[in-house]
Amino acid sequence: MKDPIVAVFSGGTSAEREVSLGSGLACALALARSFTTRLFDVRSEALPEGFDPRSQVVFSTLHGTFGEDGAMQGLLDAAGASYAGCGVESSRLTIDKERTKRTVEAAGVRATVGIPFDAGAKPVAAQVLEKLGERLVVKPNGEGSSVGLSLVEGRAQLEGVLAGISRGRWLVEKRVIGRELSVGVLKGAAMGVVEIRPHSGVYDYASKYTKGMTEYIAPAPLGDAVTSTVRSAAETAFAACGCRDYARVDFMLSAENEPFLLEINPLPGMKETSLLPMSARCAGLDFTALVREMVSPAIERFRSGIASRLQ
């Protein structure tokens, strides 16, 4: 049976559009070494013109809203398309940081303590400090790439950040002081643990996308026991949230070497220098081999669908 064309979706309509365009181009070039590949620039909340689910399998690099929140996945399901990555329900879950944390805690993985709120119903700063302490993180509940993330300390800073929030759903969390880690999960198995050391002390949008502002250590120098604990927590979180094929799981490691889940990213950044590829290199997969493995389950689902229709 002839392989389908791999349709790489990039761009999108979210605040992470430019990041997605970079991911899409890198993945399309790598996938083209193994498959016939077509790169699509998605500019509206619809399937792109020229996409044909009868002959194409989707590898999406659409980050943020519409791409990661189940909306695109729902359109693909309705079209009968095969696509790599998480399905509708797990995408809807993992885009919501607070729901994700509650889900993984029920499975035995600790998560950072937080208070979700809407822009129209902000919490009282004094009450937040009483519950969570002085050192806090404020971030959107449904965005990636650290868009809108702020570290605050004390009442005056918290009130200033809250005053600047005008729309959307947000999360204020107790800040875990420790080491930031990221783990790629491929087909349910955790790969290498990457340590993130931003020179500014905060891994925000600028630290992620400005060359030289962050040091990455892969594999993270944690020791075998702690590495095993973090990898196991990543696999448990992945399974608890119903993820499939691949995802990136992020943690803060406390001074007591206990991992606290920050979020699960079902469609993470995918340039060769991104965190998921770093994690994969620790497991012996270069970028070309990684994207080939990431899309392979969708190709198998495509073939199974054709076989069942022929019966």
Same domain, 198 and 162: no
Please name every residue paired with 266 in a beta bridge, in sequence order, or none if there are none: none
Is 283 within the bounds of a domain? no
**What span, in angstroms and rounded, lies between the C-alpha atoms of 151 and 172?**
10
Is 286 within the bounds of a domain? no
Is 271 within the bounds of a domain? no
Active site members: 16, 145, 209, 248, 250, 263, 265, 269
**What span, in angstroms and rounded, lies between the C-alpha atoms of 41 and 93?**
25
Is 28 within the bounds of a domain? yes
Confidence at residue 18, expressed as pLDDT on a 0 to 100 scale: 93
Same domain, 106 and 120: no
Same domain, 99 and 220: yes
Same domain, 165 and 53: no
Global pTM exceeds 0.85: yes
Same domain, 197 and 259: yes
Is 78 within the bounds of a domain? yes
Same domain, 156 and 56: no
Backbone angles phi, psi at 125, to 5 degrees: -55, -45
Same domain, 148 and 97: no
Q: The domain that contains 228 carries what CATH number?
A: 3.30.470.20
Q: What angle do CA 227, 182, 140 make, to 5 degrees?
A: 140
Same domain, 13 and 73: yes
Q: The domain that contains 163 carries what CATH number?
A: 3.30.1490.20
Among 232, 251, 266, residue at a domain's last position: 266
CA-CA-CA-CA torsion sign (248, 197, 258, 220): positive
Is 280 within the bounds of a domain? no
Confidence at residue 306, expressed as pLDDT on a 0 to 100 scale: 72
Q: Domain count of the chain?
A: 3
Print the domain residue range for 42: 5-85+291-310
Is 298 within the bounds of a domain? yes
Backbone angles phi, psi at 7, to 5 degrees: -95, 110
Question: Which residue stretches of the chain have pLDDT < 70?
Answer: 1, 144-147, 200-210, 307-311
Same domain, 100 and 237: yes
Cβ neighbors of 29 (< 8 A, separation 6 or more) are none
Confidence at residue 145, expressed as pLDDT on a 0 to 100 scale: 47
Burial 114-127 (b: 16+ CB within 10 A, else e): bbbbeeeeebebee
Same domain, 198 and 252: yes
